[in-house]
Amino acid sequence: MAGSRAAIRYAKAVLSLASDEKTAEAVNTEMKLIANTIAQSKDLRDVLKSPVVSSSVKKSVLLEVFKNSNKAILNLIDTLISNNRIDIFSDVAERYNQLFDESKGIELATVTTAVPLTDDLKKKVLVKAKELTGKDIEVENVIDESIIGGFILRIGDIQYNASIANQLSKLKREFILN
């Protein structure tokens, strides 16, 4: 919990700085890359979380991995290292992306399907989601073969479950109750 609050504070500070410097969009793109890179690299996550690895080694690893980064991100790395909070670097990147999207009025729609969405279906989801929320929507497709077919659409707190697995579960409950 405390790490999450700290990540939000750092993300707000970076967003404020990047907005002042008119680089918020570029920093957002890099923060997405940072969050994805750390999420996909177990070794990098382990280095950042390890109390055994010195701060100077962590800093040199990050500067090597993200060497062409924006000045705001390099300053963030320095600040997190000096405050012994580099372990929340990925959280800060994710929070930055959320705050940036909120500032632009963009909402994330997560569509869970058994197979990847086609471009045509993605466009239809965008249109419908924008119609429902009145906001710009960014679609993230999550693949989960256990839903068998159909889809699960989640926008903020709203979820619409039109999966085959859900329909089968409802049918099973009806048979059990009758």
In the chain, CATH 1.10.520.20 sits at: 2-102
Nearest alpha carbon to residue 111 among 131, 91, 140, 88: 140
pLDDT score for 3: 63
- For the chain, the residue count is 178
- Asked if residue 74 has pLDDT above 90, the reply is yes
Taking the C-alpha atoms of residue 68 and residue 153, their distance in angstroms, rounded to an integer, is 36
- Domain 2-102 adopts which CATH fold? Peroxidase; domain 1 (1.10.520)
- Asked if residue 91 has pLDDT above 80, the reply is yes
Q: How many helices (H) and strands (E) does the chain have?
A: 8, 4
**Banded model confidence at residue 82, pLDDT cuts 50, 70, 90:** very high
pLDDT score for 160: 86
151 three-class SS: strand
Q: Residues of the chain with pLDDT > 90: what percent?
A: 61
**Banded model confidence at residue 136, pLDDT cuts 50, 70, 90:** confident
pTM recorded for the entire structure: 0.73
Report whether 122 contacts 142 (CB < 8 A): no
Tokens of 104: 């632009």
Taking the C-alpha atoms of residue 52 and residue 47, their distance in angstroms, rounded to an integer, is 9
Could you read off the pLDDT of 104-117 as tens digits, one per residue? 988 888 999 999 99
- Asked if residue 2 has pLDDT above 70, the reply is no
Could you read off the pLDDT of 15-65 as tens digits, one per residue? 999 999 999 999 999 999 999 999 999 999 999 999 999 999 999 999 999
